[in-house]
Amino acid sequence: MTDAQQPSVPGLVVALDGPSGSGKSSTSRGVATRLGMRYLDTGAMFRAMTWWMLQHGVDVADPAAVAAVCDRPVIASGTDPQAPTITVDGTDVAAAIRTEEVTRSVSPVSAVPEVRARLLALQREVVAAGVQEGPGIVVEGRDIGTVVVPDAAVKVYLTADAAARAARRALEEGGSDVEATREILLARDRIDSGRATAPLAMADDAVHLDTTFDTLEQVVDRVVALAVAAGAVDGSS
């Protein structure tokens, strides 16, 4: 790691929000790797909760049923940006949470206030560990800068054209139908932006980056530059 990659401000938090397919995960992992920081994918935690509900036959369309059992699963997130992990009750669910069934069910589960409260507490524990024990953490999600870490030193809100987002997500999923993927993404946008608790929204002091026409490396460079400006690295080399 070069001097320019060494964080000089202990406990820096980079909050990165945006809708599905905007490039949050790849950007967050790239920034965390570049700066030697930890990484947390909060969306994976909601997917893990959703997977558990489906596995246990809970009606994900029934908020009361979801709320009644959301304290049961033990969800743990690994924070290595080059090899992030997610487990439920000790089981690796990194692949299982990316199925179409989970994707279609995660928004209604995420909208349940009790689920958000449970996972918010877990997320803040992980962030606190990244701040206290390591050089800092990059956290991605939909309410990081507004709810999870509203005092983050760097806040970024990523967006991209719906067509570009759908193409990226379809490619990630092995060439699934782009138009069908686009409809799923737009449906998730409507649910996530319209929920009463912690809706998808850009923090007032966040930097808005449209990634439609940028490469991943360009977006990572832009976020790293914001971290340098905030004092995360000395940027001398």
**pLDDT in the model for residue 9:** 46
**pLDDT in the model for residue 175:** 60
More confident of the two residues 127 and 235: 127
Reported confidence tier of residue 2, pLDDT bands at 50, 70, 90? very low
Cα–Cα dist 232/154, whole Å = 9
Fold for domain 3-227?
Answer: Rossmann fold (3.40.50)
Q: Domain segments of the chain: what residues?
A: 3-227
Cβ atoms 230, 154 nearer than 8 A:
yes
Cα–Cα dist 170/181, whole Å = 6
Predicted TM-score of the model (pTM): 0.84
* pLDDT tens figures, 170-229: 776 666 677 777 777 777 777 777 777 777 788 999 999 998 888 999 999 999 999 988
